[in-house]
Amino acid sequence: MNGSLLSVRNISADLANRAVLQNLSFDVADGEFFSLLGPSGCGKTTLLKIVAGFLQPASGELLWNGRSITGLPPQQRDLNLVFQNYALFPHMNVFDNVAFGLRMKKLPPAEISERAHEALELVRMKPFAQRRINELSGGQQQRVALARAVAPRPKLVLLDEPLGALDLQLRKQMQIELKSLQRQLGMTFIYVTHDQEEAFAMSDRIAILNQGRLEQEGSPEILYKEPASRFVARFIGNANFLNAAAADGLKANCPALQTDVEIIPFAKAAATAQPNQTALTQGVLLVRPEQLELSPCPPESTVRANGEVLMRQYLGAQIRYFVRLQDDSDSQVAVDVHSSEHSLLENGSKVNLFIRAQRIPFYADVQTP
Amino acid sequence: MKWTGLPAKIWMSLFVLFPFVWLLFLSVQKNSYINQSGPYGFSQFKRALNPPFSGIIVNSLVYSFAASVCVIGIAIPIVRYISQLPPRKRTLWILLCAIPLGLNFVVRIYAWFVLIRPEGLLTLILEYLGINSPLASTRAGVFMSMVYGYLPFAFLPLYTVFERLDPSQTEAASDLGAGTLQRWRYIILPAVVPGVVASFIFIFVPMLGEYLIPKMIGGGLVSSLGTQIESQFLGSTKPNWPFGAALSLCLLVCASAVLFIAVKLLPKGHSGQKSTWSILQIQ
């Protein structure tokens, strides 16, 4: 891919003889807000350290505008890192922290002062320039760390869960600020987080890591609507899995809801189904809670209800029902309905469930011969 | 009335205040022998602060300072290396560095003497390398022995500050473009200053009064403040207690002055940094 600022090519890494990253490849485009998302221990911080130059990969290559930077020490890479614990220098004041990178570049003093103040202005910390680091709150330290990273105007800024230590309110505010800052500066951001909402709130594209492997890479919309694996489906948003059987790559039958749906087949479904095989492919459908609709079933109705309300959560705009399916699987699904359109149902109510979505992702069971 | 401070007050009176006052009393005696008391005066101090004794005091100050700087200069890279090792290896290294502290100082200095005497291993190695200078009974030998003898004392105060260095600080510095030298200058050294000052105080003050090393290694040919004081009190030829007391007080003043300057030079502590005093208290 041309126009990519950073290309990660087949990167593998070991820590203490354990494979932490396995053959990872992706590209980050110039000016993009790119997130590395995954549960803790998936190797995302290791990958960030490799990109920053603190760790060397066991194999693979890092390309910067098509040129290899794999062996380059951190100080020679045109990127800056915002550390998880901020790593501000406690013996320097706010200004000196922000000016550090500029001083290392040996810029003239007037320019250092100008650019450091400019960076502090960006994060609205200019009045604090002469403060000591230990006089700042967590959110303020976060801003200083950000200003320190962007002051030398690197092409790429790496952020290692920078909002992790902040409370929810501040975190949401910082998400908006980070995104607008990134747009304003036109810099490329690689943001590491385990928080799916955070990644979705800011990113242009997201790479999902699991156990050192790349599960999927794409825009938030694609990841939510067409997750490539059950792991991604479960990791992003809420997921209901309904047992189903697919006859071909187009349609599947879901016995619990007594319905046929159009499917988006994933992975092994097509590959493993042999032409001479007449048996159905067993698997699961991914149905998001808001893709399900329920209607109360009157007691005298002759239609057999296919669900029973177990529990209800009133979430404000939405009501979430946990419904037990009345089939042999006895499994539970979550159903979100708009609170303005529905009256509350009591626990134990019999309900009928419908799928509202057009095409549903289908994951075939892995055959274990 | 607080009674809790009483044991400390008794201790200080008996073992600090009383000896100090007695030293003061001794030092203003005019004559060589305490039992021949005569008119009081400061003639002993006058003698101590004039040649040849003023030279000995200055010499001791300079040599102790230089040896302290050498000790710290040698200890810092070792401690930095140890502090970056994985925890299990680190414990082993700390143990190895601390073992000499468990040995009697005299025994250690004697062992060192075996190495540097004319037919000692170190002398032979130096001769083999073409350096034909004797170590025993010379200033160079005494200096080397001082560095050797006090090295273990510098490790622990330094280790407490190096161990607390946050690796992400140096990573952040290199990320922002700092090379190895710049990381040491702007990040590591400022963070370890309190430990450096603490270990300096730890070794400089006893070095100033050191008499065992000049006596054993110097063989009586190298004189220092410590050996002078010792010979004034215990010397077989012409002991002079009042003069010894005056020299001791000079030593006390010098040590206090250096202590005062060292602490004054310290930058103000900040959070996450141990002060020199807290390190001294731990030891």
Digit-coded pLDDT (tens) for A85-136: 899 998 889 999 999 999 998 999 999 999 999 999 888 888 998 999 988 9
pLDDT at B272 over 60: no
Q: Which residues of A touch B271 (CB under 8 A)?
A: 90, 134
Residue A202 tokens, joined: 């800011």
Residues A219 and A253 in one domain: no
Residues A216 and A274 in one domain: no
According to the model, what pLDDT value does residue A302 have? Answer: 60
pLDDT at B59 over 50: yes
Q: Do B273 and A91 touch (CB under 8 A)?
A: yes
pLDDT at A79 over 80: yes
Residues A14 and A156 in one domain: yes
Q: Do A90 and B174 touch (CB under 8 A)?
A: no
A88: nearest CA partner in chain B: B169
Per DSSP, the three-state class of A19 is strand
Please give the average per-residue pLDDT across A46-64, as a whole number. 91
Domain that holds residue A124: 4-232
CATH of the domain at A148: 3.40.50.300
In 3D space, the residue among A359, A311, A314 whose CA is nearest the CA of residue A337 turns out to be A314
Q: Does B174 touch chain A (CB under 8 A)?
A: yes
Please give the average per-residue pLDDT across B247-266, as a whole number. 85
Q: Does B28 touch chain A (CB under 8 A)?
A: no
pLDDT at A276 over 80: no
Residues A259 and A215 in one domain: no
- Out of B168, B179, B190, the one facing A83 most closely (by C-beta) is B168
According to the model, what pLDDT value does residue B271 have? Answer: 41
Residues B83-116 as b/e (b if ≥16 CB within 10 A, e otherwise) read beeeeeebeebbeebeebeeeeeeebbeebbebb
pLDDT at B187 over 50: yes
Q: Do B176 and A100 touch (CB under 8 A)?
A: yes
- Out of B175, B186, B270, the one facing A90 most closely (by C-beta) is B270
Q: Which residues of A touch B174 (CB under 8 A)?
A: 53-54, 73-75
Please give the average per-residue pLDDT across A10-31, as a whole number. 88
Domain boundary among A232, A264, A289: A232
According to the model, what pLDDT value does residue A305 have? Answer: 66
- Out of A83, A134, A148, the one facing B271 most closely (by C-beta) is A134
In 3D space, the residue among A14, A1, A100 whose CA is nearest the CA of residue A50 turns out to be A14
Q: Do B176 and A91 touch (CB under 8 A)?
A: no
Q: Do A87 and B169 touch (CB under 8 A)?
A: yes
Confidence category of residue A1, pLDDT binned at 50, 70, 90 = very low
- Please check whether residue A284 is in contact with residue A227, taking contact to mean a CB–CB distance below 8 angstroms: no
Give the count of beta carbons closer than 10 Å to the beta carbon of residue A154.
21
In 3D space, the residue among A54, A45, A6, A42 whose CA is nearest the CA of residue A26 turns out to be A6
Q: How far is CA A268 from the centre of its chain?
A: 24
User: Poorest-confidence range of B37-41, B90-94, B214-218?
Assistant: B37-41
- Please check whether residue A34 is in contact with residue A40, taking contact to mean a CB–CB distance below 8 angstroms: no
Q: What CATH code would you report for B52-282?
A: 1.10.3720.10
- Please check whether residue A76 is in contact with residue A28, taking contact to mean a CB–CB distance below 8 angstroms: no
According to the model, what pLDDT value does residue A270 have? Answer: 45
Q: Which residues of B touch A87 (CB under 8 A)?
A: 166, 168-169, 171-172
Q: Enumerate the β-bridge partners of residue A308.
A: A324, A350
10 Å CB burial of residue A150 (0-12, 13-18, 19+) is buried
Q: Does B272 touch chain A (CB under 8 A)?
A: yes
Mean pLDDT (chain B, rounded): 82
According to the model, what pLDDT value does residue B270 have? Answer: 46
The Cα A8–Cα A11 span in angstroms is: 7
A54: nearest CA partner in chain B: B171
- Please check whether residue B215 is in contact with residue B227, taking contact to mean a CB–CB distance below 8 angstroms: yes
Please give the average per-residue pLDDT across B93-118, as a whole number. 86
Domain boundary among A232, A264, A299: A232
Domain boundary among A232, A266, A297: A232
What stretches of chain B show up as alpha helix (H) in DSSP?
6-12, 18-27, 43-48, 53-83, 87-102, 105-116, 121-128, 139-163, 167-175, 180-183, 189-208, 212-216, 225-234, 241-265, 276-282
According to the model, what pLDDT value does residue A340 have? Answer: 81
Residues A79 and A227 in one domain: yes
Q: Where are the domains of chain B?
A: 52-282
Please give the average per-residue pLDDT across B212-216, as a whole number. 84
Please give the average per-residue pLDDT across A14-22, as a whole number. 84
Handedness of CA B253, B258, B263, B267 (dihedral sign): positive
Confidence category of residue B276, pLDDT binned at 50, 70, 90 = low
Task: Identify the top-confidence range among A284-298, B211-225, B262-276.
Answer: A284-298
Interface of A with B (CB under 8 A): 52-54, 73-75, 79-81, 83, 85, 87-91, 100-101, 104-105, 132-134, 148, 152
Q: Does B180 touch chain A (CB under 8 A)?
A: no
Residues A46 and A189 in one domain: yes
A134: nearest CA partner in chain B: B271
According to the model, what pLDDT value does residue A267 have? Answer: 52
pLDDT at A201 over 80: yes
Tell me chain B's radius of gyration from C-alpha atoms: 22
Q: In what order do the strands lie in the sheet with A59-64?
A: A18-29, A4-15, A59-64, A67-68
Q: Does B191 touch chain A (CB under 8 A)?
A: yes
Per DSSP, the three-state class of B121 is helix
According to the model, what pLDDT value does residue A2 have? Answer: 47
Distances (CA, A) of A14 to A26, A46, A62: 19, 9, 16
Q: Which residues of B touch A88 (CB under 8 A)?
A: 172
- Out of B176, B187, B272, the one facing A101 most closely (by C-beta) is B176
Q: Which residues of B touch A85 (CB under 8 A)?
A: 166, 168
Residues A224 and A290 in one domain: no
Q: How far is CA B95 from the centre of its chain?
A: 22
Q: How many CA atoms lie within 13 A of A22 on its CB side?
A: 11
The Cα B61–Cα B63 span in angstroms is: 6
Q: Which residues of A touch B179 (CB under 8 A)?
A: 75
Is A200 domain-assigned?
Answer: yes
Q: Do B176 and A132 touch (CB under 8 A)?
A: no
User: Poorest-confidence range of A44-48, A259-263, B120-124, B236-240?
Assistant: B236-240
Q: Do A83 and B172 touch (CB under 8 A)?
A: yes
Interface of B with A in 151-170 (CB under 8 A): 166, 168-169
A205-242, pLDDT tens digit by residue?
999 999 889 999 999 999 998 888 889 998 888 888 88
Q: Which residues of B touch A132 (CB under 8 A)?
A: 270
Instruction: Compute the nearest-CA separation of A24 from chain B (Å).
Output: 23
What stretches of chain A show up as alpha helix (H) in DSSP?
44-52, 94-104, 109-122, 138-150, 168-185, 196-202, 220-225, 230-235, 268-272
Q: Do A101 and B177 touch (CB under 8 A)?
A: yes
Q: Does B181 touch chain A (CB under 8 A)?
A: no
Residue B105 tokens, joined: 């100082």
pLDDT at B33 over 70: no
pLDDT at A197 over 80: yes
Q: Do A80 and B176 touch (CB under 8 A)?
A: yes
According to the model, what pLDDT value does residue A116 have? Answer: 93
- Please check whether residue A251 is in contact with residue A260, taking contact to mean a CB–CB distance below 8 angstroms: yes
Mean pLDDT (chain A, rounded): 85
Residues A194 and A274 in one domain: no
Is A369 domain-assigned?
Answer: no
The Cα A135–Cα B46 span in angstroms is: 53
Residues A75 and A107 in one domain: yes
Residues A267 and A356 in one domain: yes
According to the model, what pLDDT value does residue B39 have? Answer: 58
In 3D space, the residue among B114, B95, B84 whose CA is nearest the CA of residue B188 turns out to be B84
CATH of the domain at A298: 2.40.50.140
The angle formed by the CA atoms of residues A359, A362 and A366, to the nearest 5 degrees, is: 170
Total domain count for chain A? Answer: 2
- Please check whether residue B170 is in contact with residue B188, taking contact to mean a CB–CB distance below 8 angstroms: yes
Residues A44 and A175 in one domain: yes
Distances (CA, A) of A337 to A183, A324, B162, B165: 35, 16, 58, 54
Q: Which of A89, A94, A160 to mutate to test the interface with B (most CBs of B within 10 A)?
A: A89
Residues A70 and A208 in one domain: yes
10 Å CB burial of residue B6 (0-12, 13-18, 19+) is exposed
In 3D space, the residue among A146, A226, A227, A225 whose CA is nearest the CA of residue A187 turns out to be A146
Distances (CA, A) of A197 to A38, A92, A102, A215: 12, 35, 34, 18
